[in-house]
Structure formats: C-alpha cells, structure tokens
Amino acid sequence: MLRVLALASVVLLGIAPQASQAITVYTSWERHALVGSDIRLSCSFFSWRFVSEDVSFTWRYRPDGSRDSISIAHYAGGEAYTDNKGAFKDRVEFVGNPKRRDGSILIKNLDFSDNGTFTCDAKNPPDIVGRPSSVRLLVFETLPIQAGVITGAIIGVVLGLLVLIVVIYYLMRFLVARRVFSLNVSRNVEGPQLSILP
Amino acid sequence: MLILLLGIIFLHISALVLLFVSTTVSVSKTLWIQVVQALMILSIIFSFLSLLLFFCQLFTLPKGGRFIPTGIFQILASLFVMSGAIIYTLMSPDWVNVGNSFGYAYILAWVAFPLALISGLIYAVLRKRE
C-alpha cells in the first residue's frame, strides 16, 4: 500500500510541472473613458516559471464590428515597439514593467474611433501555451450616470434623515428626563442637610 | 367607532395599493425620471410606515390621545406623491410625444395623493376612545 502511494506521488510530481505549464493572461473586462483623455490598459500574466529574458507582450486592436485585428504594440527581447503607421501612430506607449509581469500600454487622446477590443497576448518562454485576454474599450462624450444611482441616493438620504430625526427626538426626551431626575435627586439630598445646620 | 376605524384603514390601504400600482420601477438613466421614481417609492415606504405606526399606536396610545406620528407620515407620503406627480407633469412633454396621453399610472398617482392627504389629516384629528 505504501509502495503504491510512493509510486503514485513520484509519477504525479513528474507529470504535474508539464501539465501546469500554461500561461494565464489577465486584463480588465471593460474600460470606460472620456473623449480626449488618456487610458492605461493593464495586462499581466501568471506563469509557473520565472520571468525569462525572452518574455514578450503583444497588443492587438479590433474595431467594433470588424473581424480583423491589427497589432499596435509589441515588446520582445527587451525592446518595445509601437504603432508607427496606423490609427494609433504616436498615440500608444508601452508603460509596463515586463520584469514584474506587467505589460501595460498607455493610449493618449482617445477618440470615438478607438471603440473596440484590445487583446493582450503574453508569452514567457518556454511557457507559451495560453489564451490571450481582451479588454473592451468604450469611449464616451460624458460619463453616464449609473442607472438607478440617483434613485437609491434620494431614498437613502431621506430615510437616513428620518432615522436621524427619530434618534434625536428620543435622545432629547431621554436627556430631559435624566436632567429632571438629577434635579429631583439633588433637591432631596440638600433637604436633610439644611435641617441639620442651625 | 369601529366603523370609523375600518373606514380609515380601508382608505389608507387603498391609497397604498394605488401607490404600488402607479410606481413603475424600470431602471432608467435620465435624471428627472429617477427623481420621480425615488419620490414614488418613498411615498410607498412612508405610507406603509404610517400604517405600522397606526397599529402600534392603537395599542399603546393613552385614552384621548391623537395619532399624530401616523398622520405626519401619511401626510408626508401624500406630499411625496404630489411632488412626484408634479415633476412628471412638468417634465414629460420633453419625453413623451405630444400625441400620447398620460397613462393609468399617472391618474392613479393623482388619485392617491388626495386619499393619502385626507387619511393623514383624519389621523391627526382622530382621538383614541374606549
């Protein structure tokens, strides 16, 4: 029995590193931004291995309603390369720290044409098997109010005021009652003393 | 006395039901629609609290006492529904086409307002007997 267990654990230890050699890429799910502002799209990854010298990040952009995606930023071999021909020319900058598994990019001066999906693909050789992660960018003219926030806020404020008024009312009643009680007590205490003094 | 009591409770509950039916809770992003929704919901809450207070006070009030807090809450509920209906009346020409008329929820809200007001005033004037 013990021998079987020992054999099984050795086999598992042998298999496990190979099975877990998949890289997991993380980005936000969706980002909202105002026209004309800058936005930092973050990309990070998890890998069982240490960050290698050949770590690479690739950012692709796919406009809404289109099937093609175009590369806009690439980091490999210690160098960052950004779009110098397309719609993101001079607007995208690689601001991540690859040694800390951060492959973020900064996009400046957003416009409505930047609405779309940005995909980050990170590779940490020999850990290269993994799925890229996408973040959806929505560019607004004015940031919309979350639906229902104002309703909730008004209700909350009014109910809060109600609770406050009730609490203050009962507090005042309690304090007034206590003051009356302490006045009565002091009067009773002074009474006998006055009669003792000649 | 009992008839009066039953009549008041019926008035109160019908105002509450009208308020419920006239409050459409659909999430929207426009500012004034959210304010109207908030006022309607608040009027329902206050009317319900006033009903609870009524039953509380029925058992705890000394003889000859008045149902003042009940009346205050109910009058506040009527004021909230009035404000909500007024804001809706003023702002809806921007939202609804001129051809469309107001729906049944709007009429119910305007009916609930005097009902709640009258019941609130009755509570304020009523004295507990027996």
A102 vs B7: CA distance, rounded Å: 71
Q: What is the pLDDT of residue A120?
A: 95
Distance from the B126 Cα atom to the nearest Cα atom in chain A, whole angstroms: 23
Enclosing H/E stretch for A169 = helix A149-196
B81 vs B43: CA distance, rounded Å: 6
- Give chain A positions within 8 Å (CB) of B41: 151, 155
- B6: three-class secondary structure by DSSP: helix
What's this model's pTM, rounded to 2 decimal places? 0.54
- Is B16 domain-assigned? yes
For the CA atoms of B90, B110, B69, B123, the dihedral, rounded to the nearest 10 degrees, stands at 150
Contacts of B48 (CB under 8 A, 6+ apart): B16
Q: Give the 3-state DSSP-derived string for B36-66, with helices as H, strands as E and coil as C.
A: HHHHHHHHHHHHHHHHHHHHHHHHHCCCCCE
Residue A157 CA, chain-centre distance (Å), reads 28
- Give chain A positions within 8 Å (CB) of B29: 144-145, 147
- Is B81 domain-assigned? yes
Contacts of A23 (CB under 8 A, 6+ apart): A45, A46, A47, A122, A123, A124, A127, A128, A129, A130
Q: Residue B98's pLDDT band (boundaries 50, 70, 90)?
A: low
- Is B35 domain-assigned? yes
Q: Residue B2's pLDDT band (boundaries 50, 70, 90)?
A: low
- Is B75 domain-assigned? yes
Contact A154 B35 (CB under 8 A): yes
- Within an 8 Å CB–CB cutoff, is residue B27 touching chain A? yes
Work out whether strand A39-41 and strand A105-107 pair parallel, antiparallel, or are unpaired: antiparallel
Report whether pLDDT(B45) > 80. yes
- Is B97 domain-assigned? yes
- Give chain B positions within 8 Å (CB) of A154: 34-35, 38-39, 42
Distance from the A161 Cα atom to the nearest Cα atom in chain B, whole angstroms: 12
Contact B38 A159 (CB under 8 A): no
Closest listed residue to residue A139, CA positions, set A162, A100, A113: A113
Q: What is the pLDDT of residue A117?
A: 95
CATH of the domain at B101: 1.20.140.150
- Give chain A positions within 8 Å (CB) of B31: 145, 150
Contact predicate A73/A60, CB 8 Å: no
Minimal-distance CA residue of chain B relative to A147: B29
User: What are the beta bridge partners of residue A176?
Assistant: none
B116 vs B8: CA distance, rounded Å: 10
Q: Residue B27's pLDDT band (boundaries 50, 70, 90)?
A: low
- Amino acid A44 reads S
Report whether pLDDT(B87) > 80. yes
User: Where does A24-144 sit in CATH, by number?
Assistant: 2.60.40.10
DSSP assignment letter at A74? E
Contacts 24+ apart (CB under 8 A), B46-49: B46/B73, B46/B74, B46/B76, B46/B77, B46/B80, B47/B12, B47/B15, B47/B16, B47/B19, B47/B73, B47/B74, B47/B77, B47/B116, B48/B16, B49/B73
- Within an 8 Å CB–CB cutoff, is residue B38 touching chain A? yes
In order along its 198 residues, chain A shows pLDDT tens digits of 888 887 777 766 655 555 456 899 999 999 988 899 999 999 999 998 899 889 999 999 999 888 999 999 999 988 999 988 988 889 999 998 999 999 999 999 999 999 999 999 999 988 889 999 999 999 988 776 676 788 888 899 999 999 999 999 989 988 888 887 777 777 776 555 555 555
DSSP assignment letter at B127? B
Distance from the A56 Cα atom to the nearest Cα atom in chain B, whole angstroms: 42
Report whether pLDDT(B13) > 90. no
Distance from the A167 Cα atom to the nearest Cα atom in chain B, whole angstroms: 14
Distance from the A157 Cα atom to the nearest Cα atom in chain B, whole angstroms: 11
- Within an 8 Å CB–CB cutoff, is residue B68 touching chain A? no
Which residue range is the domain that position B52 belongs to? Answer: 2-125
- Within an 8 Å CB–CB cutoff, is residue B87 touching chain A? no
Closest listed residue to residue A72, CA positions, set A87, A60, A80: A60
Pinpoint the alpha helices (H) of chain B: 2-22, 31-60, 68-95, 104-125
Q: What is the pLDDT of residue A69?
A: 92
- Amino acid A121 reads D
A144, A151, A159 ranked by CB distance to B34: nearest:
A151
Contact predicate A8/A115, CB 8 Å: no
